[in-house]
Amino acid sequence: MKNLFNYISKEKLLKKIREAIEEDVKKGDITSTLLFGENEKGEFYLLSKDKGILCGREVFNYVFKEIDKNIRIRWRKDEGDEVKKNEIVAEIKGRVLSILKAERTALNFISHLSGVATITRKMVDKGKGIIIKDTRKTIPLLRELQKYAVYVGGGKNHRMSLSEGYMIKDNHKRLKGLKNILELIKKKKLEKKVILEIENLSEFKLALNYGIKYIILDNMDIKEIKKAVMVAGGCVFLEVSGKVNLKNIEKISKTGIDAVSCGFLTHSVKALDFSIEAKGKVYG
């Protein structure tokens, strides 16, 4: 079950939504207020203008509820469903002023989250069975929502924060030295898993000697990746990171690694294009 609230509390979500509405609406929608009466109602539909994966229905709903609890939304697609270009995804009914006030904020959320889910699904499909993971390269303050969208697209999540596991990266190694770090880890009884990012086969062999079970091969070429897989012999979890994309994911997936991690899933994704279109004249 795709449950948004496994990622973010309702209270935290509403706080983000209120801040987003305040950013857009501030003192009101002066154009719509000029043109429409307080009690005029209308019917609208949410139209997908791209092909992709729908993500963010719950967020979309809560934006409208925050503006006007009497707005009614009827969805034609479930979370995680594929939507086609020029397909009606939902129908919206209620006060015109309320719907127009909520329109842009609701679209911004659902377009971005659906974009994340869509690119993740493409990577999952091309990855031929390997695990597609996100990173912490997320838009500030949108991490929970973006990682939820990766999940909806069929991907898996890396750490939500720095406290969720030990991950030894390049700066740690430069400052402390890899062997010193491995000696320290060996002496400690750590309850959380240790992930080690390595940059060459020499570091890889050293990590294996110290019994590290989760290794990330960072910016290594296909030849080096294949050699690492052979040396590991299936005894460790191997992940590839750095410059992984839709063009090379199939080739990487054939090397025998377990997973890839991709920052672009969240930090530079193209939004899926949606629009809210009025259906007929106002009434009421």
Quote the DSSP letter at residue 5. Answer: G
Phi, psi at 257, each rounded to 5°: -75, 165
First to last CA, the chain: 39
**What's at 201, amino acid-wise?**
L
Low-confidence ranges of the chain (pLDDT < 70): 1
267-272 contact pairs (CB < 8 A, 24+) = 267/137, 267/138, 267/139, 269/112, 269/115, 269/116, 269/119, 270/115, 270/119, 271/111, 271/112, 271/114, 271/115, 272/48, 272/50, 272/52, 272/53, 272/83, 272/111, 272/114, 272/115, 272/118
| pLDDT tens per residue across span 239-270 | 999 999 999 999 999 999 999 999 999 999 99
CA distances from 117 to 142, 180, 225, 231 (A): 14, 40, 27, 34
pLDDT at 2: 74
Q: In the prediction, which pLDDT does 189 show?
A: 86
Is 108:20 a contact under the CB 8 Å cutoff? yes
Q: What is d(CA 141, CA 22) in angstroms, rounded to the nearest whole number?
A: 16
Distance of CA 10 to the CA centre of its chain: 18
The residue whose two tokens read 């989760």 is 214
Structure-block tokens of residue 182? 């491995």
pLDDT at 1: 53
The structural domains of the chain, ordered by start, are: 4-123+270-283 (3.90.1170.20), 128-267 (3.20.20.70)
Nearest C-alpha neighbor of 146 from the set 43, 25, 269, 257: 269
The predicted structure's pLDDT at residue 226: 97
